[in-house]
Structure 1
Amino acid sequence: MVDFRELRYAPLSGIDRVAGAFESLVRSWEFSSELTGDVINPLQGSGWRGIAAEQAAGGIQKVRTEIDAAFDEASAIALALRDAHTELAGAQADLKAAIQSAADQGLTVDDTGGVHWPPATNPADKKDADYADSYRQKATGVADAIARAVARATAADAAAAAALAADTGANRTSFNAKPLGGQPEEEAKKAADLLRLGDRATEAQVLELNQLVRSHAGDPRFATAFYSSTGPDGFLSSYGALSEFGGYYGSDATKKALLELQGNLGRTLATATDGTKVPHLGDAWQAGLRKAGAAQYQLLPDRLQGGNPYGYQILSNILRTGTYDPHFLNPVVEHVTQLSAQNPGRWEDAVSKANPIGQVFFLGRDGSGINPMSGALEALGHNPAAATKYFHDQATVYDEDGTVKATGQPNTYLKQLTGTGFDSLLQDYQPDHFSPHGKAAPMEAGALGHALEAATTGRAYDATDAPLPPHTPEMAAVMAQVVDRFGNGDGPGLLAKSGLFAGTNGSLGHMTAVYMGDVQAALNPGDNTLPTHGARAALNQENTEKLLGALGRNPDAYGAIAQAQQAYTTAHIQDVMQHRDQYKDLFGDAVRNAARPGGEVAGILTAARTDEVYVRAQAEATAYNDAIDQNGVWAKTVWAITGGKALGNIPGVGPGLSYPVNGFIDSIADAYHIEAHPSDDATVAYDTGKNSAAAAAQAAVVKAGRAAGLEEPYLNTLALSAANETKNGLGDGATLFGRAIHG
């Protein structure tokens, strides 16, 4: 085991040099070609025949076999050494960062890794009970970081030792013909053997298993061989026992490795089930996984285990990590959904026997995650193509054992998942109750939002810096479903602070921001000039109004939508001004028409914010201000898919119009900030929002007009006209909010 001093002071340059030397040897390997060119080819061309020739040929073949084995062994050693250096260097960097963090916080770290804080020196600190508690918390954080770094180094050391031992073998007279590092299938077999140990695996074996899976998670040969070797049933039972026992009774290093292993297994499963890779697991293996997912498992003896979880409960958190082929993922998620619908309480029933210890590693925080819908929806949230297919395409119905029962069935998954009664498909363990009957739980509601965000935007919900693909008709159709569900009937109430699906507000805000063109078009059904990002979503006008009103009450959703509205309106106004010659005498009307829809959106948002912050909860003003700042990315994102595409279209302007993104958008966003005033707070809040939206439209006209060379008197009049039209639209939007929310 690596200790603190060894990791802190170990010179790793030697390992780096040796790894480099072996890599250079492999890259420049010429022994095989030299033997062929200098010996074998001349002999074969000499016409030599007879017993002596046959004996010579046999000897040469042995030499060639040894040379080939030497190459494989050298390649494997190079890989093992490079992996070891990478991991040890990473661990050493982690340790250095932890020690620096200690110094930054006024702590010291001794040569054994102990963390200390300075004693109180003045009377005030000596009497302050929080003095020691504050430093103790800081020291604990540093100590944990040091422990993680040492554990990482220990795992790397153990994995390197095991790999080098397997690579070189025990025979001192010949090279190893089957080194571990050169054969993914052999490494997969070893990993499978380690996994089969289950609750009998030692700390070192868990660390080695994690290292093997982590190193080869993206290799289809390893991944396919690993999961083929265990089989679906063997994998779930072995991993369940390993994580159940090790996660509860194991050392800190074991628990850390198990948490990493969970994600590494997900990436490996994604690789093994990717139909574009060779090799990959076939449909028979995937059907076996569905059957195993619906079965229950006795993982540990009764005295150690509180229940018998379903295979899907063991699999659930593994699915949270990985980029999956929809051909694999969608049948699993559909099957889990249908099993939940048949018996929503089955998941809690399965693990509530006796004294459950919580299946700590394949479930979520504080015992939540008993319902595998949580992990399944999170998987969709990271896999947009699968998410769109799940919510849009016709459903495939599965029997209890996962075999296909019917295809081409109506898709009612969104309706089912947003059910509000007891026996919800999204019920889960919660701190205030543990029963097999309940309503949708916060973790699952958030996961549903993530899945919907991926389905409608075409990118993973947490990949906010990734490009947004144009909306497909399928994505747009899912968005229309979402607007109809949460903007109609009990939908807006479900998004209230105490509503069952309040956890989806952030994702719904992002989705509304990305569909801003469609939102404005819904509020102005006669305006065909409003551009959309790809296929147009046929959003219902009244439901869109109600959804905007509901989301305006949530700071995070409000921040994203307000920023997106501002950017979209700016881009649309500038687009009109870039093509002013096409409008002739109607140019002024075109600018006003471009400004009005954004005003209507701002009006609904402003009215909702006013109602929530000042009438209902004045203390949340800070939350709204922070949300405006934190969601600036959505203004820039929407700008990139609208106005940013046409930056060079104004003659003589070119890329200079990037200024609105970096300057104009940021400065106008500040105007959306609100302050709490002692008198007539609601009026002040409403006026702030109204003036901010108008100022944004006015500034958009001025910036674009000056760049296009318009004369100031004409430009100022045009800009003021756009601002006033925005205010008119905002007033209409506020009226819409009142009608939509208050009746």
Structure 2
Amino acid sequence: MSTYSDLRQETFKGIETLASAFESLTSNWNLSSEFTGDILTPLQGSNWRGDAAERAAATITKTRNELDAAFEEASAIGKALRDAHTELAAARADLDAALKRAADHSLTVDADGVNISWPAPTSEADKHDPTYATTYKALAQSVADDIAKAVARAKAADTAAAAALGGATGKSKTAFQPSTGPEEQGKKAADLLKLAGNLSDAQLDELNKALKANANNPQFTTAFYNRLGPDGFLKYYGQLAVASADKGNRSTAVADLQKNLGTALATATDSHNFPHLSDEWEAGLRRAGATRTDILPIPKRADGTSAQPYGYQILANILRTGTYDPHFLNPVAEHVTQLSEMPGFWTTTPWLDTDLDKMKLLGYAQGSQAGGFNPMTGVLDALAHNPQAATQFFHDPKTEYNLDGSVKAIDQKNTYLTDLTVGGDRSPLQDISKGNYYLASGHAESPELLSLGHALEAATTGRAYDAPEGTPLPQHTPEQAAVMKDVVNHFGSGDGPKLLRKGADLADLAPSLGHLTAAYMGDVQGAMSPQDHSLTTYGSPADLNPGNTAKLLGALGRNPDAFGAVAQAQQAYTTAHIQDVMLHRDTYGAEFDQAVKNAAHSGGEVAGILTAGRTAGLVDEMKGQADAYNKSIDQNGMWGKTVWAMTGGRLLGDIPGLGKGMSLPANFLIDQLTSSYHIADPNTADPATDADVAGFSGLGAAAKKAVESAVQGTGLNPQQVEALSSAAADAARDGATGGAGLFTRAIHG
């Protein structure tokens, strides 16, 4: 079915008859059951033994397998014929509709279906109508496009049918085709995707089911992506997404396809799997990523500019799903980042409303009207879900790539943290903006910044940013700690703190920076109290700079979302440290009282800076922020419990009356301690003053409670407990006063 003439003349009755015949054959199939009932069952009950019996059994088994293979082949042929008839009949219907529209408007279509002419004007009004020719020309072009689409649909159906029938029957002339293995199934699924915009709803459902069932099978996925090729994969999926944009009932199915393609791509590119895609295939994907891919029906506008997206803009959403091997993901991430650093690489095209609507399945999950044409978001989301790759991306020497994705230089200085956090109109995280006629927005967009923050969380903690609550943090590796040190130095110096303020260019990064600061609370308190060598880190130390750490804490204190996580972590760590001192009372001897004070004092310094930052932020706002801080403290309770598990939870088994892990009393204790940071009655008190009082008084109360909760089994009498807990409270407040003074004198956000 290769020409307009073929489609114009054919009715496809023969294909429909054949499809019905094969469907009837398989629906009434009884050869297998008859063979079993008439031959296998009686034979198995005969107790026939010996060489002849074994030879007969082998022959019978072969015959039974042939019958099963015959059924599989007949079923596959019937399905291929039915699918072909459905698509070819639909293509013919599309053609008939186009020809009827031509006839209704007196247009003449030539024998090839290419050239379309319109009647000359006859009336005086038409002869003098300046729009007569342009109107008919536009109508003729529209009909020509519809005819071309119908013929293309028929060609695609013809190609798919040939592939399906070839796969169903196989090459053997002496035996039926047995059920196909995963490689053949992968190729068959690839042939479905090749139908692109002509894929029917039923075929899309079949493709999704095949990918979902085999997404973790390297044989299937490798065959699937090899069959498509890197450029074909992007083109066919992009064309399918565009063709489905106006069909609301298909948007969910295409969104599912995005996820299934991502999981399958992760499996196919995992170098630990066998088989897996070659380095050449991956290099081809990078080349295709930096090349415009033809997915829109109109390749160029009147001004000559291309409306077609780059391959990476199509790939971005797919990368959001899957657990990727850094061997594959990091070269893609580095290449996309380097392209994004080229001013306007993704955003200089003057996109139109219609472009965005058609490509809404390629941008952000919420739709293209919100942007999504900078593929950095998808790449950063992929890193955020793949901690090993994220750490390598921000830590290891970088590889520089040419425009086509080939390697330009290796072992270069890694500057990605600095490059991606440039403010203003030099930001590589810019996206398109509706308010700017769909050109570059001129600054980093919120979704990109959130994704960058998530990627940094994964890189520094070794845990996916959205891991389920309760997922343990692994011990910090030297590489993760080094990234954390870079982050603190970057945002705790120069203009870094100011860029995190509300309304500043990088404000949306603050919540994630709060999370990773919470994860490194031992290092943070160690930086603020370098003389206290009893403070422990969780894994490799980050060796944080005290001044930069203090400035970052002050900046995070200004942000309600960041404040909650850091406050929770600080209280949990300080409580665990106090309890550790209590458990080792004999070790400290005469210095025991001072050790408790030191533990409370070091936490107080961190809390003092944090609280001073919060107070400064409230002074700036003076309203509406108190509730935000209280809510943040409550919502970030997981960070207190996570840090407790990292530092002090292991000690609970040594305290009489408490079990190992996060016991109910300890769980309640953490909630009680951190609630002391709440700002009371923000509607009736000056929020800034109330926040300052709450921070300092609550901190002292928390330190006192930490001591009181740790005295079980120590033999201390009530008077000793009161003296010790009060001293701890005073030390915490002293530390907070010193930290707040440091903020006031030298930091100022």
User: Shorter-chain TM-score: which interval?
Assistant: 0.7 to 0.9
- Over 3 Å counting, the alpha-carbon distance change for 1:187 and 1:695 in structure 2 is same
1:254 corresponding residue in structure 2:
250
| Aligned counterpart for 1:413 among listed residues 413, 416, 424 | 416
Distance, in Å, in 2 between the alignment partners of 1:680 and 1:357 is: 47
2:466 corresponding residue in structure 1:
462
1:452 corresponding residue in structure 2:
456
Deviations 1:21-52 (CA, angstroms, capped at 9, x unpaired): xxxxxxxxxx89x99x998972499xxxxxxx
Deviations 1:323-378 (CA, angstroms, capped at 9, x unpaired): 0000110011011111222x231212357379523521111132411011110011
2:93 corresponding residue in structure 1:
none
* Structure 1 segment 126-275 matched on structure 2, within 5 A: 177-179=177-179, 183-246=181-244, 248-250=245-247, 252-275=248-271
- 1:71 deviates by 7.5
1:339 corresponding residue in structure 2:
339
- 1:590 deviates by 0.4
Distance, in Å, in 2 between the alignment partners of 1:325 and 1:659 is: 39
- 1:478 deviates by 0.3
Distance, in Å, in 2 between the alignment partners of 1:225 and 1:43 is: 43
Which residue identity does 1:503 align to in structure 2? D
Which residue identity does 2:727 align to in structure 1? S
| Aligned counterpart for 1:404 among listed residues 398, 404, 407 | 407
1:396 alignment partner, SS class: strand
1:567 matched to 2:566? The reply is no
- Over 3 Å counting, the alpha-carbon distance change for 1:654 and 1:679 in structure 2 is closer
- Over 3 Å counting, the alpha-carbon distance change for 1:307 and 1:218 in structure 2 is same
Distance, in Å, in 2 between the alignment partners of 1:276 and 1:351 is: 43
1:687 corresponding residue in structure 2:
693
8 Å CA contact 1:344–1:427 kept in 2: the answer is: no
| Aligned counterpart for 1:442 among listed residues 446, 454, 457 | 446
| Aligned counterpart for 2:282 among listed residues 282, 286, 289 | 286
Distance, in Å, in 1 between the alignment partners of 2:522 and 2:554 is: 17
Distance, in Å, in 2 between the alignment partners of 1:303 and 1:685 is: 59
8 Å CA contact 1:381–1:450 kept in 2: the answer is: yes
| Aligned counterpart for 2:499 among listed residues 491, 494, 502 | 494
Deviations 1:578-609 (CA, angstroms, capped at 9, x unpaired): 11111110000100011111111111121122
2:30 corresponding residue in structure 1:
none
1:609 alignment partner, SS class: helix
| Aligned counterpart for 1:578 among listed residues 574, 577, 583 | 583
Which residue identity does 1:290 align to in structure 2? R
- Over 3 Å counting, the alpha-carbon distance change for 1:236 and 1:665 in structure 2 is same
- 1:75 deviates by 11
| Aligned counterpart for 1:736 among listed residues 739, 742, 749 | 742
8 Å CA contact 1:653–1:708 kept in 2: the answer is: no
1:42 matched to 2:42? The reply is no
1:710 alignment partner, SS class: coil
1:640 corresponding residue in structure 2:
645
1:122 corresponding residue in structure 2:
none
> Any stretches of 5+ residues in structure 1 without a counterpart?
1-30, 46-56, 78-161
8 Å CA contact 2:343–2:428 kept in 1: the answer is: yes
- Over 3 Å counting, the alpha-carbon distance change for 1:220 and 1:642 in structure 2 is same
* Structure 1 segment 690-701 matched on structure 2, within 5 A: 690-701=696-707
- Over 3 Å counting, the alpha-carbon distance change for 1:179 and 1:39 in structure 2 is farther
More displaced 10-residue stretch of structure 1: 274-283 or 651-660: 651-660
Deviations 1:437-467 (CA, angstroms, capped at 9, x unpaired): 7221111111110110000000100115211
- 1:385 deviates by 0.2
2:551 alignment partner, SS class: helix
8 Å CA contact 1:312–1:336 kept in 2: the answer is: yes
1:63 matched to 2:63? The reply is no
8 Å CA contact 2:461–2:516 kept in 1: the answer is: yes
Which residue identity does 1:193 align to in structure 2? D
Which residue identity does 2:212 align to in structure 1? R
Which residue identity does 1:633 align to in structure 2? M
8 Å CA contact 2:371–2:433 kept in 1: the answer is: yes
1:537 corresponding residue in structure 2:
542
Deviations 1:39-75 (CA, angstroms, capped at 9, x unpaired): 8972499xxxxxxxxxxx6x86653334446778999
8 Å CA contact 2:424–2:505 kept in 1: the answer is: no
8 Å CA contact 1:513–1:560 kept in 2: the answer is: yes
2:328 alignment partner, SS class: helix
2:104 corresponding residue in structure 1:
none
1:430 corresponding residue in structure 2:
433
1:90 corresponding residue in structure 2:
none
Distance, in Å, in 2 between the alignment partners of 1:65 and 1:649 is: 68
RMSD: 3.1
- 1:653 deviates by 5.3
2:682 corresponding residue in structure 1:
676
Distance, in Å, in 2 between the alignment partners of 1:70 and 1:474 is: 60
8 Å CA contact 1:70–1:175 kept in 2: the answer is: no
8 Å CA contact 1:345–1:423 kept in 2: the answer is: no
- Over 3 Å counting, the alpha-carbon distance change for 1:385 and 1:681 in structure 2 is closer
More displaced 10-residue stretch of structure 1: 622-631 or 468-477: 622-631
1:370 matched to 2:376? The reply is no
8 Å CA contact 1:378–1:450 kept in 2: the answer is: yes
1:485 matched to 2:490? The reply is yes
* Structure 1 segment 588-599 matched on structure 2, within 5 A: 588-599=593-604
Distance, in Å, in 1 between the alignment partners of 2:667 and 2:646 is: 16
8 Å CA contact 1:672–1:692 kept in 2: the answer is: yes
> Any stretches of 5+ residues in structure 2 without a counterpart?
1-39, 75-160
8 Å CA contact 2:676–2:702 kept in 1: the answer is: no
- Over 3 Å counting, the alpha-carbon distance change for 1:679 and 1:320 in structure 2 is closer
The count of corresponding residues between Structure 1 and Structure 2 is 606
- Over 3 Å counting, the alpha-carbon distance change for 1:229 and 1:704 in structure 2 is same
Distance, in Å, in 2 between the alignment partners of 1:528 and 1:566 is: 19
Which residue identity does 1:457 align to in structure 2? T
Distance, in Å, in 1 between the alignment partners of 2:333 and 2:656 is: 52
- 1:692 deviates by 1.1
Which residue identity does 1:711 align to in structure 2? N
Q: Which has the larger radius of gyration?
A: 2
- Over 3 Å counting, the alpha-carbon distance change for 1:428 and 1:671 in structure 2 is same
8 Å CA contact 2:699–2:732 kept in 1: the answer is: yes
- Over 3 Å counting, the alpha-carbon distance change for 1:628 and 1:66 in structure 2 is farther
8 Å CA contact 1:309–1:351 kept in 2: the answer is: no
